Structure 1
Amino acid sequence: MALPSTIHRAVVQLSDVDRGIYETLQVTLARHPSETAQRLVLRLLAYAVCHAPELSFTKGICAGDEPDLWIREPDGRVKLWIEVGTPEPQRLLKACRHAEQVVLLTAGPGRFRWDAQYRELLTGLDNVRVLGVDYDFVSQVATGLERSITWELTISGGSLYLTSAKQTYETTLETLVSAES
């Protein structure tokens, strides 16, 4: 018998100074039994960093042909495709052919090896952006993750300031690849 997903409810007080977005985000996330707490944190961070009213979570790990988050047009076309972690570059290249915009929020113990091997393949594409977050930051936030998540997240000058459970964390949101690269 398969284990059920764990449901997490999150409230994020988002102050994205860089984009002029000040909102309270309320979302429900399903955490697959094979998903780590770090990956869940990264998905929620991606939701906040790329927030738009139409942005939604997909089936994620359960549906191999879907991204972690996306914005779909009414006719089914994908406007924004968001991946997290360190996916195979072929997956991102395929997404670039099918989506108007592709964003990768990358973090993980092998991120710098991933950067060295694959960043060049994505550089120069006109519809891809790769953002990097420190994995220690993600791991610290994931420590003691509960089913009810309350964050205060400020994004300013390319830095993330996150308060969760009376702990404050800070990291840089690095732009590793962008259309202007």
Structure 2
Amino acid sequence: MALPSTVHKASIQLSDIDRGVYESLQATVARHPSETAERLVARLLAYAIFHEEGVQFTKGICVGEEPDLWSKEADGRVLSWIEVGVPEPERVAKAARHAGRVALLACGNSLPHWERHHLPKLVGVGNLTVATVEQAFINRLAALVQRSISWEITITEGTVYLQIGGESLETPIAVHCGAR
């Protein structure tokens, strides 16, 4: 019998001073049994870092053809396609041909290899943003993850400041191509 997904309730107070975005975000996120805590928090970070009106979580890991997050027009056209991890560059380039905007929060243990071998193939894609945060930041958030997640995030001058349970964490956002 297959294990069920774990449901996490997330509440994020977002103050993105760099982009002028101030929102109280609420999300219910399913964590597939094969998904790591690091990937779960990376999806939540991408939700905050690339937040815009209408962005929502998809079925993600359960459906290989969907990104982690997206926003769509009423007619089904994809406005924003947001990925997490280190996808194949062909997948990202294909998404860029079909979506108005593509954003990737590149992260994971194989990130240095991916940056050397795959990022150069994507730098010229006009509607693509590739950003990274420090893996140690993601690892610390993963260590603190619970079923109920409450974050206060401030983004200013390209740095994420995150409050969680009385602890303050920070990481720079490195934008490798495009604009956040």
TM-score of the two chains, using structure 2 as the length reference? 0.97
Q: CA offset at residue 144 of structure 1? A: 3.0
Identity of aligned residues (%): 53
Q: Which residue of 2 aligns with 1:82?
A: 82
Q: CA offset at residue 50 of structure 1? A: 1.2
Q: CA offset at residue 53 of structure 1? A: 2.1
Q: Which residue of 2 aligns with 1:147?
A: 147
Q: CA offset at residue 107 of structure 1? A: 1.2
Aligned equivalents of 1:83, 1:23: Cα separation in 2: 21
Tell whether 2:95 aligns with 1:91. Answer: no
Tell whether 2:64 aligns with 1:64. Answer: yes
Contact in 1 for aligned 2:93/2:125 (Cα 8 Å): no
Contact in 2 for aligned 1:6/1:31 (Cα 8 Å): yes
How many pairs does the alignment contain?
A: 179
Tell me the C-alpha RMSD between the 2 structures: 0.9
Aligned equivalents of 2:18, 2:144: Cα separation in 1: 29
Tell whether 2:116 aligns with 1:116. Answer: yes
Deviations 1:69-126 (A, max 9, x none): 0011111110100000111111101111111111000111111111010111111111
Q: Which residue of 2 aligns with 1:3?
A: 3
TM-score of the two chains, using structure 1 as the length reference? 0.96
Q: Which stretch has the larger CA shift, 36-45 or 161-170?
A: 161-170
Aligned equivalents of 1:131, 1:115: Cα separation in 2: 11
Q: CA offset at residue 52 of structure 1? A: 1.5
